[in-house]
Amino acid sequence: MRNIPTGSLLLICFCSFVFPFLLLQIMDYNSKTDQWTLYSSVDSRNRRQMEIIFIGGMHRSGTTLLRTMLDAHADIRCGPETVVILNVLGVREAMAKDPMIVSHISKTKLYPEVTDNAVAQFILEIIIRHAPPATHYCNKDPLQMLFSKYLHFLFPNAKFVLMIRDGRAMAHSIISRKLELYTYDIESYRGTLSTWNKNIERMHKQCIKLGEKICQLVYYEQLVLQPVSTTKNLFKFLEIPWSIAVLHHEKYTNQSDFSKAEASTDQVSKPLYLDGLTQWFGNIPEDVEKDMLKIAPMLNVLGYNPKDRTPNYGEPDEFVKEKVIVIPYLIFFLVTISVTFKSRFSD
């Protein structure tokens, strides 16, 4: 069987995924009339001015939790993870790195302006049409933050939220659950942490370069321990009025709100989940702990102490104390009393 050159494969991928959507450059579909109509390039550029919210970060860092919290807001719609957007961004990046493809499509005047606009329109179609309409749209895909610089070029008014979580907790979550995600080695803490470090470094650098008015870091630990102040700060950044509904996301979710690509469904359908903060304690191999600073130097950069094996991430706020700590114990106390009374009366 004859091998197909890498450049040809990328060109085939480009034509298969992106070329059909070049029509979005000049056409718009009206679902009510079931007709395609022409629109000008000015309209196309205006669509790219939309203030989309992009949520990303490494896997198991709280991206699904945050997007369900935003989905609870009446004016925001994120919807399930689409996956396809990340694939197109990957093809676009690979294409740009291949001189043969760049040379070929440049001769046809499809690169870079037409190609970039086609990619932008494709992304918009997926975001806008894959779930009900809303005042504000957002898209959550963990690894899309690897392309935040390019996404900002496509959508200059977009806001980016980079979820940050202790890499040790993330590695333990992936390995203990045996989640075959991305290129993680689920048999190795050292390998998983190395992958985390490489990619979170790239994401973090792009976020910092975009600036605090465009990209905000949200720490998972702060989100679950101090959700009130953390979400209020986030909504101030997004320039959208805060709603208390975001603190009660579990009331607004059901199984149909998730895709199979989202591995955190069982947790985000419940109230804020605190157990994940400390489950990794004592589970990382000794040799990995000793080399932690070398394996994952980004822990230090992000404010975590690589030498602290049982870090204190902070105190829960009053909302968390009441909802996650006090109420369960109160329910347990009432159930215990009820069972005691029943047993006495039955005797």
**Active centre residues (catalytic):** 81
Tokens matching residue 221 = 């630990």
The per-residue DSSP string of 204-241 comes to HHHHHHH-TTTEEEEEHHHHHHSHHHHHHHHHHHHTS-
Q: Quickly count: other Cβ atoms within 10 Å of residue 329's Cβ.
A: 9
Give the CA distances from residue 130 to residues 1, 69, 124, 153, 288, in Å, rounded to whole numbers and listed in that order: 39, 19, 10, 23, 42
Tokens matching residue 48 = 């790219």
Q: Which amino acid is at 271?
A: P
CB 54 within 8 A of CB 148: yes
Give the CA distances from residue 54 to residues 51, 168, 191, 236, 285, in Å, rounded to whole numbers and listed in that order: 10, 25, 28, 16, 35
* CA nearest to 220, candidates 239, 235, 206, 234: 234
**CA 190/CA 185 separation, integer angstroms:** 9
Tokens matching residue 292 = 């932690």
Q: Any bridge partners for residue 162, and if so which?
A: 56, 217
Q: What one-character DSSP code corresponds to residue 326?
A: I
**CA Rg, the chain, in Å?**
23
DSSP H or E stretch at residue 140:
strand 136-140
Residues 6+ apart with CB under 8 A from 113: none
CB 58 within 8 A of CB 170: yes
